[in-house]
Structure 1
């Protein structure tokens, strides 16, 4: 692993296996470096574990707990319509239970021009079909209900060499000459129906298409050849017209609206009866207790997932005989052996960790606390949620029948247990709010301890700074080993020279003594 600039004499005079001797000496010298590398690996595993926990807790706080603060999580309802082909709906959190009468007299429509009996060959140009004798400018003005005070105007160049597909593409991509914003048009040609249509994407009576700007004979001929009546050059859209509980509503520009907390979708008119009166659909809003139960069960499931993971980490067995493997050790092992070894080596890294045990104790305490709701339903245990044994280490179970009964009897109290806004020290703060605050505290502590994923280069967390110091120590140890190896080889080189010199002198003396 280490190289030296010194010319090595490997036992020529002494007969020693110098390479082997130096290697054994260096194995001893490398012990501090190997310990540093193992320490570095352990801290890296810790860093990764803390950061993954941080990510999971953040997701729990920002998704599950956030959703459990919303009124719609508890005020769940079903919407049924007696004329579901004409009217459908779903509820928001503010929907009021009851029965409503809704008739649809007119659906919202876009402003449109439709040309019928238009025979076009899609493979031929307009000129070839006699639809346009020479190039022309097609002018169009559009008013969008979203901004009725601003008219968008486009001048579209239509050539005799264009096919109908080119005309359609130019209309659909047309933009206002000043703002460069889309006109919001849809043009299409149906060969089966022999029908050419231009319409606004927006609906409502404020939607408008104005073709009066086409005054040249060529542009008028083009419109006429596409079946569009130029004698009435302005088309307007239509508003939805409904009757809700006997009240006429005519100011809806789309076929989707929210009334009484119900998101309505109008799909067709409901017609009239034999007397000419509008037929009404009976729309019924009922409480959906099962949906609320499922939402609460989802919270408990996600909570248990966090609890189980933390419990596993703080109670995991430590295998002190299994230290992180060095690269030279891995070289002699299979991937399966490495995997099993490292599973043991990672065991117990966070056993009795102060941050995790603190989070666990806080979470358990919160979920066992009482919330002042003004009702006997004031804790999880009162609505059928609790642990079965101290061996569960805080894991919760849901008695669905008891929870369903609690929601049926006092839905407001059940909601308050979770999402009531108040002060924790006065017992008025809901459990979800308390958990959310505790999760934020845990996130802050974990970030201070291990930083966040993706900021390794600038990591100033406790472990991040420790890893930087370990790396510096590894660099120093590596440099020391290079110097130490060179030193050993120099010493052996000097020894070999001395042995060679001694052998030479002995040989001379022997020769001299033999001469006498």
Structure 2
């Protein structure tokens, strides 16, 4: 906005339009126009309030859609583990074993029974492994000079515990060194010896239980290692590191392996070829083999100092076939082959052989953990508690869902709390605005006929007899509460569990019997009303629930081309209805009307200013003329 002044006239430029708002007339034009426009603002405010109400209403409908969809996904989806449409929910069994040698799990196709099982042999995987520790003992590269080492020290780490070994001022030979080592780490743990060339060797003492030994220079003071014949290129540990290159690994082994003519390791495992360079690390080799399709697992065990290759499949047969091209890695390192074995067992008197330690017979899955010393007894019983819990969870969540919906449609709307205008919000604090909006959004779905009809339809599903079934919700212990509970269900635990014990099939069919005429879950949206009536009569209560809720949240279009009623009304995110629904159309219409009204108000404001501009200009001109006449009269 630009402002210029000349005499008693002030010119204001706003949005490209020049307006004269000076005080020639003595009138505050801006305040007057503002007051006039405030009266004109009423229609725009009403439109924006309608827009806000429609937005809030859409949000609340979508909240209902989300809650109903979550309930349906959990209990009315055949892929859900808690689906009330699946027979497996009502045919759960508990299995027990008298021995930890065999663990069991009963599936939906199991039957109540008692079994006996004996295990004489477990299935094992074929392996290629080192026959013993593969890393060489720690050995110096030059003869030890004990005189030069006198008074100096080194760090000796035994299985993670580090101690400083200090040679005495009179140390003369390996016996003196051994004494210093025993003093530092304890006797009979690490043996120090010397070979024919005078090279020192550090090794684990026989039957000591010691695994890893490492030498290192002390953090301060003179190091004895150089005088004892160890150079920086010598290996100072009797274990491999997976970060070692394959070239380093070969040098560290007691029996070194060789690379092929290209300086590589090249071998095939179960028809999968592998090639590794000298500078590849042991970790890289292990990772590539284990992530391949060779069906084998390579591992370096630092405790036993052994490298192994194990077939991922257990059982006898060609599960691990390996060959090498040119090098000697397999022959030198993986030189002990153990064939896989099959599991051997006797189940209910029948001898069986399996390649794995897990087998399923007549719905019962047996896991073999160890050989048995005597026959294990397996008991399979119907898991009434688990079935009861599944039904109880369904009823509990159903009650929560209808309670949420009943609360929304029972809230009273207070018209004294319309959406706030921008001017009203400017005069209020954030907490005041929050409290106002909380009241303004209450009751927007009061007595909503669509939600009321959905609840009514759900209640009706439980009252109509399921074709061919004598059981009802009432006979199995499920009843409705008092009138003021608005359709909530209650379970008589003893009665329901008794029904599950005596007539489990009837309870299952009451819930998940499928229509013989129109079965499944994918057909309901494409049926005519007469076909729906046949399906409804023939199917169990859970399927009726599914059908009713699909009428409201179904994303598949029916014969009329419509999606579920809630989606048609308010839409749903991540669906075409998100922008194609009644409330969105209403909001788009309101947005267009608001834009038109804002343009009208802008034109109206300009009109007012133009009128006062003409007046100000006329008065200013008249004032100037009077001044001239007055001047002429004075001079004459």
What TM-score bracket applies, with the shorter chain setting the length?
Answer: 0.7 to 0.9
Q: Confirm whether residue 138 of structure 1 aligns to residue 280 of structure 2.
A: no
The question of whether the paired residues in 1 share the 8 Å contact of 2:240 and 2:249 is answered with: no
What are the equivalent positions in structure 2 for 1:351-390 lying under 5 Å apart? Answer: 351-375=446-470, 378-390=471-483
From 406, 417, 439, the equivalent of 1:322 is 417
Aligned partners of 1:36, 1:412: CA distance in 2, in Å?
59
SS in 2 for 1:383: coil
From 399, 412, 415, the equivalent of 2:492 is 399
How far did 1:198 drift?
0.3
Aligned partners of 2:627, 2:264: CA distance in 1, in Å?
116
Classify 1:138/1:382 alpha carbon distance in 2 versus 1 (closer, same or farther; 3 Å): same
**Which stretch of the first structure deviates more once superposed, 237-246 or 386-395?**
237-246
Classify 1:34/1:206 alpha carbon distance in 2 versus 1 (closer, same or farther; 3 Å): farther
The question of whether the paired residues in 1 share the 8 Å contact of 2:257 and 2:333 is answered with: no
Classify 1:338/1:79 alpha carbon distance in 2 versus 1 (closer, same or farther; 3 Å): same
Give the structure 2 partner of residue 223 of structure 1.
330
From 448, 457, 482, the equivalent of 2:568 is 448
Give the structure 1 partner of residue 154 of structure 2.
none
Aligned partners of 1:244, 1:338: CA distance in 2, in Å?
73
Q: Confirm whether residue 171 of structure 1 aligns to residue 299 of structure 2.
A: no
Give the structure 2 partner of residue 111 of structure 1.
126
SS in 2 for 1:209: coil
Q: Confirm whether residue 479 of structure 1 aligns to residue 590 of structure 2.
A: no
From 379, 387, 390, the equivalent of 1:295 is 390
The question of whether the paired residues in 1 share the 8 Å contact of 2:567 and 2:577 is answered with: no
Classify 1:459/1:261 alpha carbon distance in 2 versus 1 (closer, same or farther; 3 Å): same
Question: Alpha-carbon deviations, 1:46-99, whole Å to 9, x = none?
Answer: 22222222222222223212311112211222111001x221122221110011
Give the structure 1 partner of residue 69 of structure 2.
58
How far did 1:512 drift?
5.1
Question: Alpha-carbon deviations, 1:402-451, whole Å to 9, x = none?
Answer: 22222223222222221122376584421111110000001111111112
Aligned partners of 2:294, 2:599: CA distance in 1, in Å?
71
Classify 1:451/1:167 alpha carbon distance in 2 versus 1 (closer, same or farther; 3 Å): closer
Aligned partners of 1:385, 1:69: CA distance in 2, in Å?
18
Q: Confirm whether residue 70 of structure 1 aligns to residue 163 of structure 2.
A: no
Give the structure 2 partner of residue 11 of structure 1.
22
Aligned partners of 1:504, 1:102: CA distance in 2, in Å?
121
Classify 1:215/1:37 alpha carbon distance in 2 versus 1 (closer, same or farther; 3 Å): closer
Aligned partners of 1:61, 1:166: CA distance in 2, in Å?
48
Question: Alpha-carbon deviations, 1:150-177, whole Å to 9, x = none?
Answer: xx32132352x5554444334334x4xx
How far did 1:314 drift?
1.7
Give the structure 2 partner of residue 313 of structure 1.
408
SS in 1 for 2:311: strand
SS in 2 for 1:453: coil
What are the equivalent positions in structure 2 for 1:70-89 lying under 5 Å apart? Answer: 70-83=86-99, 85-89=100-104
From 391, 402, 421, the equivalent of 2:514 is 421
Structure 2, unmatched stretches of 5+, are: 2-12, 78-82, 136-238, 518-532, 554-563
Question: Alpha-carbon deviations, 1:320-361, whole Å to 9, x = none?
Answer: 011112334323323322222112111221122221111011
**Which stretch of the first structure deviates more once superposed, 298-307 or 406-415?**
406-415
How far did 1:205 drift?
2.8
From 255, 268, 273, the equivalent of 1:154 is 273
SS in 2 for 1:103: strand
From 99, 114, 126, the equivalent of 2:114 is 99
SS in 2 for 1:116: coil
TM-score (norm 2): 0.71
From 490, 493, 504, the equivalent of 1:411 is 504
Classify 1:6/1:76 alpha carbon distance in 2 versus 1 (closer, same or farther; 3 Å): same
SS in 2 for 1:362: helix
SS in 2 for 1:492: helix
Q: Confirm whether residue 269 of structure 1 aligns to residue 371 of structure 2.
A: yes
How far did 1:455 drift?
5.3
Question: Alpha-carbon deviations, 1:377-397, whole Å to 9, x = none?
Answer: x22122222222111111112
Classify 1:500/1:97 alpha carbon distance in 2 versus 1 (closer, same or farther; 3 Å): same
Classify 1:397/1:472 alpha carbon distance in 2 versus 1 (closer, same or farther; 3 Å): same
Number of equivalences: 480
Classify 1:253/1:30 alpha carbon distance in 2 versus 1 (closer, same or farther; 3 Å): farther
From 186, 193, 197, the equivalent of 2:297 is 186
Structure 1, unmatched stretches of 5+, are: 143-151, 176-181, 272-278
How far did 1:215 drift?
5.5
Give the structure 2 partner of residue 245 of structure 1.
348
TM-score (norm 1): 0.86
Aligned partners of 1:324, 1:464: CA distance in 2, in Å?
19
How far did 1:236 drift?
4.6
Question: Alpha-carbon deviations, 1:96-122, whole Å to 9, x = none?
Answer: 001111222222222211212233232
Classify 1:36/1:337 alpha carbon distance in 2 versus 1 (closer, same or farther; 3 Å): same
The question of whether the paired residues in 2 share the 8 Å contact of 1:387 and 1:397 is answered with: yes
SS in 1 for 2:606: helix
Aligned partners of 1:369, 1:54: CA distance in 2, in Å?
26
Question: Alpha-carbon deviations, 1:203-240, whole Å to 9, x = none?
Answer: 233452222x3263xx23x22331514xx6xx653333
**Which stretch of the first structure deviates more once superposed, 115-124 or 40-49?**
115-124
What are the equivalent positions in structure 2 for 1:327-366 lying under 5 Å apart? Answer: 327-366=422-461
Aligned partners of 1:390, 1:365: CA distance in 2, in Å?
15
Classify 1:107/1:22 alpha carbon distance in 2 versus 1 (closer, same or farther; 3 Å): farther
